[in-house]
Chains A and B, each alone.
Chain A
Amino acid sequence: MKPVRCATCDLQWNIRDDAPSVITCPRCLAALNNPYAQTTSTSPPTLPSGTKRVIAVEQQMKRDTRAGMIGIVVVLFIVVFGVLGLFAAGVSGAESSTVLLIALGMIVAASVAAVIFSLKWKRGAPASVAGISGGAASTTTGAAAILNYQPAHARSE
Protein backbone atom coordinates (compact mmCIF):
# COMPACT_ATOMS: atom_id res chain seq x y z
CA MET A 1 0.00 0.00 0.00
CA LYS A 2 1.19 3.48 -0.86
CA PRO A 3 -0.26 6.68 0.62
CA VAL A 4 -1.21 9.49 -1.75
CA ARG A 5 -2.83 12.90 -1.42
CA CYS A 6 -5.24 14.46 -3.91
CA ALA A 7 -4.02 17.78 -5.24
CA THR A 8 -7.60 18.93 -5.78
CA CYS A 9 -9.43 18.14 -2.54
CA ASP A 10 -6.47 17.28 -0.27
CA LEU A 11 -7.78 13.84 0.64
CA GLN A 12 -5.20 11.28 1.73
CA TRP A 13 -5.74 7.62 0.98
CA ASN A 14 -3.85 4.45 0.16
CA ILE A 15 -3.45 2.87 -3.24
CA ARG A 16 -2.28 -0.61 -4.09
CA ASP A 17 1.29 -1.19 -5.14
CA ASP A 18 0.09 -2.30 -8.56
CA ALA A 19 -2.34 0.58 -9.08
CA PRO A 20 -2.64 1.89 -12.66
CA SER A 21 -0.79 4.97 -13.86
CA VAL A 22 -3.95 7.09 -13.67
CA ILE A 23 -5.98 6.82 -10.47
CA THR A 24 -9.21 8.45 -9.31
CA CYS A 25 -9.69 10.49 -6.16
CA PRO A 26 -12.42 8.76 -4.12
CA ARG A 27 -13.93 12.06 -3.03
CA CYS A 28 -13.72 14.60 -5.88
CA LEU A 29 -13.35 11.97 -8.65
CA ALA A 30 -10.45 13.87 -10.21
CA ALA A 31 -8.15 11.88 -12.50
CA LEU A 32 -4.68 11.83 -10.96
CA ASN A 33 -1.31 10.56 -12.07
CA ASN A 34 -0.01 7.79 -9.89
CA PRO A 35 3.31 9.07 -8.48
CA TYR A 36 4.54 5.51 -7.96
CA ALA A 37 3.64 4.25 -11.42
CA GLN A 38 7.13 4.56 -12.96
CA THR A 39 8.95 3.05 -10.02
CA THR A 40 6.76 0.16 -8.98
CA SER A 41 4.23 -0.85 -11.58
CA THR A 42 6.53 -1.90 -14.36
CA SER A 43 5.01 -5.26 -15.22
CA PRO A 44 1.70 -6.80 -14.31
CA PRO A 45 1.73 -9.72 -11.91
CA THR A 46 1.27 -13.11 -13.46
CA LEU A 47 -2.24 -14.52 -13.24
CA PRO A 48 -3.36 -18.14 -13.50
CA SER A 49 -4.35 -19.10 -17.03
CA GLY A 50 -7.96 -18.32 -17.84
CA THR A 51 -8.11 -15.53 -15.26
CA LYS A 52 -9.24 -12.15 -16.54
CA ARG A 53 -8.04 -8.85 -15.19
CA VAL A 54 -10.49 -6.12 -14.25
CA ILE A 55 -10.64 -2.85 -16.15
CA ALA A 56 -9.23 0.19 -14.38
CA VAL A 57 -11.90 2.75 -13.48
CA GLU A 58 -10.36 5.50 -15.59
CA GLN A 59 -10.07 3.18 -18.56
CA GLN A 60 -13.68 2.09 -18.17
CA MET A 61 -14.85 5.69 -17.87
CA LYS A 62 -12.92 6.64 -21.01
CA ARG A 63 -14.57 3.81 -22.93
CA ASP A 64 -18.02 4.55 -21.54
CA THR A 65 -17.73 8.26 -22.28
CA ARG A 66 -16.90 7.51 -25.90
CA ALA A 67 -19.58 4.81 -26.16
CA GLY A 68 -22.15 7.10 -24.55
CA MET A 69 -21.43 9.93 -27.00
CA ILE A 70 -21.76 7.59 -29.95
CA GLY A 71 -24.93 6.14 -28.45
CA ILE A 72 -26.50 9.56 -27.97
CA VAL A 73 -25.82 10.46 -31.60
CA VAL A 74 -27.31 7.13 -32.72
CA VAL A 75 -30.40 7.65 -30.55
CA LEU A 76 -30.74 11.18 -31.93
CA PHE A 77 -30.76 9.84 -35.49
CA ILE A 78 -33.24 7.08 -34.62
CA VAL A 79 -35.54 9.56 -32.89
CA VAL A 80 -35.38 11.93 -35.85
CA PHE A 81 -36.21 8.97 -38.05
CA GLY A 82 -39.14 8.15 -35.75
CA VAL A 83 -40.41 11.72 -35.86
CA LEU A 84 -40.19 11.69 -39.63
CA GLY A 85 -42.17 8.45 -39.48
CA LEU A 86 -44.97 10.47 -37.90
CA PHE A 87 -45.39 12.37 -41.13
CA ALA A 88 -45.27 9.23 -43.20
CA ALA A 89 -47.79 7.40 -41.06
CA GLY A 90 -49.94 10.38 -40.23
CA VAL A 91 -51.15 11.21 -36.77
CA SER A 92 -54.81 11.19 -35.97
CA GLY A 93 -55.76 13.75 -33.37
CA ALA A 94 -52.82 16.06 -33.98
CA GLU A 95 -52.56 18.64 -36.72
CA SER A 96 -49.63 18.21 -39.05
CA SER A 97 -48.46 21.74 -38.38
CA THR A 98 -48.27 20.97 -34.65
CA VAL A 99 -46.26 17.84 -35.26
CA LEU A 100 -44.01 19.70 -37.67
CA LEU A 101 -43.43 22.41 -35.10
CA ILE A 102 -42.54 19.84 -32.42
CA ALA A 103 -40.16 18.05 -34.77
CA LEU A 104 -38.43 21.25 -35.86
CA GLY A 105 -38.16 22.45 -32.29
CA MET A 106 -36.63 19.17 -31.25
CA ILE A 107 -34.08 19.24 -34.06
CA VAL A 108 -33.14 22.87 -33.38
CA ALA A 109 -32.87 22.21 -29.63
CA ALA A 110 -30.72 19.13 -30.22
CA SER A 111 -28.47 21.05 -32.61
CA VAL A 112 -28.06 23.97 -30.21
CA ALA A 113 -27.34 21.58 -27.34
CA ALA A 114 -24.76 19.74 -29.44
CA VAL A 115 -23.02 22.98 -30.42
CA ILE A 116 -22.96 24.27 -26.83
CA PHE A 117 -21.74 20.93 -25.58
CA SER A 118 -18.95 20.70 -28.14
CA LEU A 119 -17.85 24.30 -27.42
CA LYS A 120 -17.75 23.80 -23.68
CA TRP A 121 -16.30 20.31 -23.73
CA LYS A 122 -12.84 20.29 -22.26
CA ARG A 123 -11.03 17.07 -21.53
CA GLY A 124 -8.67 17.92 -18.71
CA ALA A 125 -5.42 16.05 -18.35
CA PRO A 126 -4.96 14.09 -15.14
CA ALA A 127 -3.63 16.23 -12.33
CA SER A 128 -0.58 15.30 -10.38
CA VAL A 129 -0.93 13.65 -7.02
CA ALA A 130 1.62 13.75 -4.28
CA GLY A 131 3.03 10.57 -2.82
CA ILE A 132 3.11 10.91 0.96
CA SER A 133 6.13 8.76 1.61
CA GLY A 134 8.38 9.72 -1.27
CA GLY A 135 8.10 9.47 -5.04
CA ALA A 136 7.81 12.52 -7.22
CA ALA A 137 4.57 13.26 -9.01
CA SER A 138 4.61 11.52 -12.33
CA THR A 139 3.26 12.86 -15.58
CA THR A 140 2.87 9.47 -17.18
CA THR A 141 -0.58 9.13 -18.73
CA GLY A 142 -0.27 5.90 -20.63
CA ALA A 143 -2.92 3.22 -20.72
CA ALA A 144 -3.51 1.40 -17.48
CA ALA A 145 -1.37 -1.58 -18.19
CA ILE A 146 -1.97 -3.29 -14.86
CA LEU A 147 -5.71 -3.54 -14.73
CA ASN A 148 -6.65 -4.47 -18.21
CA TYR A 149 -9.66 -6.67 -18.82
CA GLN A 150 -7.80 -8.99 -21.15
CA PRO A 151 -7.24 -12.71 -20.82
CA ALA A 152 -3.91 -13.38 -19.16
CA HIS A 153 -2.74 -15.61 -22.04
CA ALA A 154 -3.57 -12.87 -24.58
CA ARG A 155 -1.40 -10.40 -22.69
CA SER A 156 1.59 -12.70 -22.78
CA GLU A 157 1.45 -12.97 -26.57
Chain B
Amino acid sequence: MMANSTADLSRDGWDLSRRIEAWAGEMRVNVIRILAIAIFYSRHLIEMFLSPRDAPIRGMYHLRVTAVIIAWAGVAATVHILLSRRIYPPMMKFATALLDVLMITLLCTIAGGPQTPLVLLYFLAIGTAPLRLSLPLVYVTTLASIVGYLSVLAWYAWHVVGFHTYYATPSLRIPRSQEIITVLSLGVAGLLAGQMVRQARRMVERCPSILSAQEGRA
Protein backbone atom coordinates (compact mmCIF):
# COMPACT_ATOMS: atom_id res chain seq x y z
CA MET B 1 0.00 0.00 0.00
CA MET B 2 2.79 2.35 0.98
CA ALA B 3 4.78 1.32 -2.06
CA ASN B 4 1.82 2.07 -4.30
CA SER B 5 1.39 5.48 -2.70
CA THR B 6 5.06 6.29 -3.19
CA ALA B 7 4.89 5.14 -6.80
CA ASP B 8 1.83 7.32 -7.39
CA LEU B 9 3.57 10.33 -5.89
CA SER B 10 6.63 9.60 -7.98
CA ARG B 11 4.55 9.36 -11.14
CA ASP B 12 2.64 12.54 -10.28
CA GLY B 13 5.90 14.35 -9.60
CA TRP B 14 7.32 13.22 -12.92
CA ASP B 15 4.17 14.17 -14.81
CA LEU B 16 4.01 17.60 -13.20
CA SER B 17 7.72 18.30 -13.60
CA ARG B 18 7.63 17.06 -17.14
CA ARG B 19 4.72 19.27 -18.12
CA ILE B 20 6.57 22.52 -17.43
CA GLU B 21 9.78 21.34 -19.05
CA ALA B 22 7.92 19.83 -22.00
CA TRP B 23 6.16 23.16 -22.55
CA ALA B 24 9.46 25.04 -22.39
CA GLY B 25 11.06 22.38 -24.59
CA GLU B 26 8.28 22.61 -27.17
CA MET B 27 8.77 26.38 -27.34
CA ARG B 28 12.54 25.97 -27.72
CA VAL B 29 12.03 23.35 -30.43
CA ASN B 30 9.68 25.72 -32.23
CA VAL B 31 12.18 28.58 -32.10
CA ILE B 32 14.86 26.26 -33.50
CA ARG B 33 12.35 25.06 -36.12
CA ILE B 34 11.73 28.66 -37.24
CA LEU B 35 15.47 29.36 -37.27
CA ALA B 36 16.14 26.21 -39.28
CA ILE B 37 13.41 27.09 -41.79
CA ALA B 38 14.95 30.53 -42.27
CA ILE B 39 18.50 29.18 -42.66
CA PHE B 40 17.68 26.25 -44.94
CA TYR B 41 15.31 28.24 -47.15
CA SER B 42 17.81 31.11 -47.39
CA ARG B 43 20.45 28.63 -48.52
CA HIS B 44 18.02 27.37 -51.15
CA LEU B 45 17.31 30.93 -52.36
CA ILE B 46 21.01 31.78 -52.58
CA GLU B 47 21.65 28.61 -54.60
CA MET B 48 18.68 29.39 -56.82
CA PHE B 49 19.69 32.97 -57.58
CA LEU B 50 23.28 31.93 -58.26
CA SER B 51 22.26 29.13 -60.62
CA PRO B 52 21.83 29.54 -64.39
CA ARG B 53 18.42 30.62 -65.65
CA ASP B 54 17.56 27.16 -66.98
CA ALA B 55 18.82 25.26 -63.93
CA PRO B 56 16.49 22.59 -62.51
CA ILE B 57 16.50 24.26 -59.10
CA ARG B 58 14.42 27.08 -60.58
CA GLY B 59 10.86 26.71 -61.77
CA MET B 60 8.60 24.01 -60.39
CA TYR B 61 11.19 22.76 -57.92
CA HIS B 62 11.39 26.20 -56.34
CA LEU B 63 7.61 26.51 -56.36
CA ARG B 64 7.19 23.17 -54.54
CA VAL B 65 9.87 23.93 -51.98
CA THR B 66 8.31 27.33 -51.32
CA ALA B 67 4.89 25.74 -50.83
CA VAL B 68 6.30 23.29 -48.26
CA ILE B 69 8.15 26.10 -46.48
CA ILE B 70 4.99 28.23 -46.31
CA ALA B 71 3.07 25.32 -44.81
CA TRP B 72 5.86 24.54 -42.34
CA ALA B 73 6.20 28.19 -41.31
CA GLY B 74 2.42 28.34 -40.85
CA VAL B 75 2.60 25.36 -38.50
CA ALA B 76 5.45 27.00 -36.58
CA ALA B 77 3.54 30.29 -36.28
CA THR B 78 0.41 28.52 -35.01
CA VAL B 79 2.41 26.51 -32.47
CA HIS B 80 4.16 29.69 -31.34
CA ILE B 81 0.88 31.49 -30.73
CA LEU B 82 -0.55 28.56 -28.76
CA LEU B 83 2.54 28.04 -26.62
CA SER B 84 3.01 31.72 -25.86
CA ARG B 85 -0.59 31.74 -24.62
CA ARG B 86 0.31 28.78 -22.40
CA ILE B 87 -1.95 26.42 -24.34
CA TYR B 88 -0.19 23.06 -24.48
CA PRO B 89 -2.50 20.07 -24.98
CA PRO B 90 -0.83 16.66 -24.59
CA MET B 91 -1.33 15.78 -28.26
CA MET B 92 0.45 18.89 -29.54
CA LYS B 93 3.91 17.35 -29.28
CA PHE B 94 2.81 14.36 -31.36
CA ALA B 95 1.17 16.60 -33.95
CA THR B 96 4.22 18.85 -34.34
CA ALA B 97 6.65 15.92 -34.47
CA LEU B 98 4.60 14.10 -37.10
CA LEU B 99 4.19 17.29 -39.14
CA ASP B 100 7.96 17.79 -39.03
CA VAL B 101 8.49 14.27 -40.36
CA LEU B 102 5.82 14.83 -43.02
CA MET B 103 7.46 18.06 -44.19
CA ILE B 104 10.89 16.40 -44.30
CA THR B 105 9.42 13.54 -46.33
CA LEU B 106 7.83 16.00 -48.76
CA LEU B 107 11.12 17.88 -49.14
CA CYS B 108 13.00 14.63 -49.75
CA THR B 109 10.55 13.57 -52.46
CA ILE B 110 10.70 17.01 -54.06
CA ALA B 111 14.50 16.89 -53.97
CA GLY B 112 14.57 13.64 -55.91
CA GLY B 113 14.61 10.75 -53.48
CA PRO B 114 16.75 9.04 -50.87
CA GLN B 115 20.05 10.27 -52.36
CA THR B 116 19.37 13.81 -51.19
CA PRO B 117 21.25 15.01 -48.09
CA LEU B 118 17.90 16.26 -46.80
CA VAL B 119 17.44 12.71 -45.47
CA LEU B 120 19.70 13.82 -42.62
CA LEU B 121 16.85 16.03 -41.39
CA TYR B 122 15.15 12.89 -40.05
CA PHE B 123 17.87 12.73 -37.41
CA LEU B 124 17.06 16.31 -36.39
CA ALA B 125 13.40 15.35 -36.02
CA ILE B 126 14.40 12.52 -33.67
CA GLY B 127 16.74 14.90 -31.86
CA THR B 128 13.85 17.23 -31.02
CA ALA B 129 11.83 14.48 -29.33
CA PRO B 130 13.66 14.21 -25.97
CA LEU B 131 13.19 17.94 -25.34
CA ARG B 132 9.51 17.16 -24.67
CA LEU B 133 10.52 14.47 -22.14
CA SER B 134 8.11 11.89 -23.50
CA LEU B 135 9.12 8.32 -24.29
CA PRO B 136 6.03 7.65 -26.45
CA LEU B 137 6.91 10.74 -28.47
CA VAL B 138 10.45 9.45 -29.00
CA TYR B 139 9.06 6.11 -30.18
CA VAL B 140 6.49 7.74 -32.49
CA THR B 141 9.02 10.18 -33.98
CA THR B 142 11.59 7.45 -34.56
CA LEU B 143 9.05 5.13 -36.13
CA ALA B 144 7.64 7.96 -38.26
CA SER B 145 11.14 8.89 -39.44
CA ILE B 146 11.86 5.30 -40.48
CA VAL B 147 8.51 5.07 -42.25
CA GLY B 148 9.17 8.46 -43.88
CA TYR B 149 12.56 7.34 -45.16
CA LEU B 150 11.12 4.08 -46.50
CA SER B 151 8.32 6.06 -48.15
CA VAL B 152 10.86 8.25 -49.92
CA LEU B 153 12.69 5.11 -50.97
CA ALA B 154 9.52 3.47 -52.27
CA TRP B 155 8.44 6.64 -54.03
CA TYR B 156 11.80 6.88 -55.80
CA ALA B 157 12.02 3.20 -56.73
CA TRP B 158 8.43 2.51 -57.66
CA HIS B 159 7.18 5.88 -58.90
CA VAL B 160 10.11 7.97 -60.19
CA VAL B 161 12.18 5.16 -61.71
CA GLY B 162 9.51 2.50 -62.01
CA PHE B 163 9.31 -0.91 -60.38
CA HIS B 164 10.80 -3.04 -63.18
CA THR B 165 13.36 -0.47 -64.34
CA TYR B 166 14.59 0.06 -60.79
CA TYR B 167 15.29 -3.60 -60.11
CA ALA B 168 16.63 -4.21 -63.64
CA THR B 169 19.11 -1.32 -63.62
CA PRO B 170 21.85 -1.58 -60.96
CA SER B 171 23.08 1.98 -61.59
CA LEU B 172 19.69 3.39 -60.57
CA ARG B 173 19.36 1.30 -57.44
CA ILE B 174 20.05 2.55 -53.96
CA PRO B 175 22.49 0.06 -52.39
CA ARG B 176 20.76 -2.23 -49.94
CA SER B 177 23.54 -1.59 -47.42
CA GLN B 178 22.83 2.16 -47.56
CA GLU B 179 19.14 1.57 -46.92
CA ILE B 180 19.78 -0.74 -43.98
CA ILE B 181 22.43 1.49 -42.41
CA THR B 182 20.17 4.53 -42.67
CA VAL B 183 17.22 2.72 -41.06
CA LEU B 184 19.43 1.25 -38.32
CA SER B 185 20.98 4.66 -37.64
CA LEU B 186 17.55 6.21 -37.26
CA GLY B 187 16.61 3.44 -34.85
CA VAL B 188 19.76 3.88 -32.77
CA ALA B 189 19.21 7.66 -32.70
CA GLY B 190 15.77 6.92 -31.29
CA LEU B 191 17.25 4.62 -28.63
CA LEU B 192 19.69 7.32 -27.55
CA ALA B 193 16.90 9.91 -27.45
CA GLY B 194 14.79 7.56 -25.34
CA GLN B 195 17.66 7.02 -22.94
CA MET B 196 17.91 10.78 -22.40
CA VAL B 197 14.27 10.83 -21.33
CA ARG B 198 14.75 7.86 -19.00
CA GLN B 199 17.71 9.49 -17.30
CA ALA B 200 15.82 12.78 -16.94
CA ARG B 201 12.99 10.88 -15.29
CA ARG B 202 15.36 9.19 -12.88
CA MET B 203 16.79 12.57 -11.90
CA VAL B 204 13.33 13.99 -11.25
CA GLU B 205 12.27 10.99 -9.19
CA ARG B 206 15.36 11.33 -7.01
CA CYS B 207 14.52 14.96 -6.32
CA PRO B 208 11.72 15.32 -3.76
CA SER B 209 10.93 18.93 -4.67
CA ILE B 210 7.57 18.42 -6.29
CA LEU B 211 6.56 14.92 -5.25
CA SER B 212 4.04 16.06 -2.70
CA ALA B 213 1.99 17.87 -5.31
CA GLN B 214 -1.68 17.31 -4.73
CA GLU B 215 -5.07 18.71 -5.45
CA GLY B 216 -5.77 21.74 -3.28
CA ARG B 217 -8.83 21.77 -1.08
CA ALA B 218 -10.24 25.26 -0.92
Is this pair of chains taken from one and the same complex? yes
| Chain B contact residue count (CB 8 A cutoff) | 48
CA distance A12 to B59 in the complex (A): 59
B35 contacts chain A at the CB level, 8 A cutoff: yes
Interface residues of A in 1-39 (CB under 8 A from B): 1, 3, 5-6, 10-16, 24, 26-31
B62 touches A86 (CB 8 A): yes
Bits for B2-35, please: 1 = Cβ < 8 Å to A, else 0: 0000000000000011011101100110110011
Report chain A residues within 8 Å CB of B77: 72, 113
CA distance A145 to B24 in the complex (A): 19
Given contacts A13-B212, A61-B27, A93-B60, contact A86 B38 (CB under 8 A): no
B76 touches A72 (CB 8 A): yes
B213 touches A68 (CB 8 A): no
A83 contacts chain B at the CB level, 8 A cutoff: yes
B218 touches A90 (CB 8 A): no
B53 contacts chain A at the CB level, 8 A cutoff: yes
A82 touches B69 (CB 8 A): yes
Given contacts A13-B16, A65-B27, contact A92 B60 (CB under 8 A): yes
CA distance A1 to B212 in the complex (A): 10
A64 touches B86 (CB 8 A): no
Write the nearest CB–CB distance from A67 to chain B, whole angstroms: 5
Across the interface, B212 reaches (CB within 8 A) one of A3, A30, A60, namely A3
Interface residues on A, range: 35 or more
B215 touches A65 (CB 8 A): no
B66 touches A83 (CB 8 A): yes
Report chain A residues within 8 Å CB of B58: 89-90
Report chain A residues within 8 Å CB of B66: 79, 82-83, 86
B34 touches A12 (CB 8 A): no
Give B34's nearest chain A residue, CB to CB.
A71
Q: Name the segment of B42-50, B100-108, B139-147 touching the other chain.
A: B42-50
Write the nearest CB–CB distance from B86 to chain A, whole angstroms: 4
Across the interface, B210 reaches (CB within 8 A) one of A26, A79, A113, namely A26
Across the interface, A69 reaches (CB within 8 A) one of B20, B62, B80, namely B80
B73 touches A75 (CB 8 A): yes
A74 contacts chain B at the CB level, 8 A cutoff: yes
Given contacts A30-B86, A90-B58, contact A10 B73 (CB under 8 A): no
A76 touches B73 (CB 8 A): yes
CA distance A79 to B45 in the complex (A): 10
Write the nearest CB–CB distance from A38 to chain B, whole angstroms: 21
A64 touches B28 (CB 8 A): yes
Report chain B residues within 8 Å CB of A24: 20, 23
CA distance A60 to B48 in the complex (A): 36
B residues with a Cβ closer than 8 A to A are: 16-17, 19-21, 23-24, 27-28, 30-31, 34-35, 37-38, 41-42, 44-45, 48-49, 53, 58-60, 62-63, 66, 69-70, 73, 76-77, 80-81, 84, 86, 88, 208-216, 218
A residues with a Cβ closer than 8 A to B are: 1, 3, 5-6, 10-16, 24, 26-31, 57, 60-61, 64-65, 67-69, 71-72, 74-76, 78-79, 81-83, 85-86, 89-94, 99, 106, 113, 117
- In the complex, besides A5-B216, A12-B213, 11 extra interface pairs with C-beta distance below 8 angstroms are A10-B215, A13-B214, A26-B210, A29-B86, A64-B27, A64-B28, A68-B31, A72-B77, A79-B70, A90-B59, A94-B63
